[in-house]
Amino acid sequence: MQRCHIIPDSLGGKDEPSNLVLLRERCHIDAPNIESKSFMWDWIRANGTSFYDTFWQTRAAKEYEFIYKKSFRQELQERDMLTPRDLEKFVTIPMVRSVNHFAHPWKNDSTNAGLLRMRLEEYDKKYGKKRQKRKVLEKRNKNLIP
């Protein structure tokens, strides 16, 4: 955790508790540097996540959707990844090689989105884009409707 000025020191923000918030290093780097307390708090609320350190996976998923014009969830559904066992098969596919950008100790959003895509490609090679479960469920549902 790092001490972050709500209004930056360089913009006249005071080095006192009412102008400080604790942020993780990556969030601190991405935080807005403007003279607006309300915007800073809006940004913190908008970027908060309910689970520890899931923010970056969420950003990678948004980057993925921006690049491919469909959500990562849609990609999983297209591959009939409907059960925890299916997802377990997906996450056990070995990660491809990647490096961190410049001297940062983490991967950026586009690298993480690329890793998602490459893992999907490996999944397709190993398991194919089968829709068997979906077809079975659709058929079962049709039979239930009079």
Question: Is 132 a residue whose pLDDT tops 70?
Answer: no
Indicate if 38 and 97 belong to the same structural domain.
no
User: Residues 67, 136: one domain?
Assistant: yes
Looking at the structure, tell me whether residues 68 and 137 fall in a common domain: yes
Residues spanned by the domain of 131: 55-144
- Calpha distance 94→75 (Å, rounded): 18
Contact 107, 100 (CB under 8 A): yes
- Total domains, the chain: 2
Residue 141 predicted with pLDDT over 90 = no
CB–CB of 111/101 below 8 Å? yes
Q: What is the pLDDT of residues 17-68, one digit of tens each?
A: 999 999 988 888 889 999 999 999 999 988 887 776 688 888 899 999 999 9
pLDDT at site 108: 86
Co-location of 78 and 35 in the same domain: no
Question: Per-residue pLDDT averaged across 118-136, rounded?
Answer: 78
Higher pLDDT, 106 or 142: 106
For residues 73 and 113, membership in a common domain is answered with: yes
Say yes or no: 117 and 138 in one domain.
yes
pLDDT tens-digit series, residues 82-117:
788 888 988 899 888 888 877 778 888 899 999 999
Q: What integer pLDDT is reported at residue 63 of this predicted model?
A: 95
How many other C-beta atoms can be found within 10 angstroms of the C-beta atom of residue 99?
7
Spatial distance between the Cα atoms of 20 and 10, rounded to a whole number of angstroms = 14
Backbone angles phi, psi at 23, to 5 degrees: -135, 155
Say if residue 65 is in the same domain as residue 109.
yes
Same domain, 125 and 108: yes
The reported pTM is: 0.67
From 47, 63, 79, give the residue that closes a domain.
Answer: 47
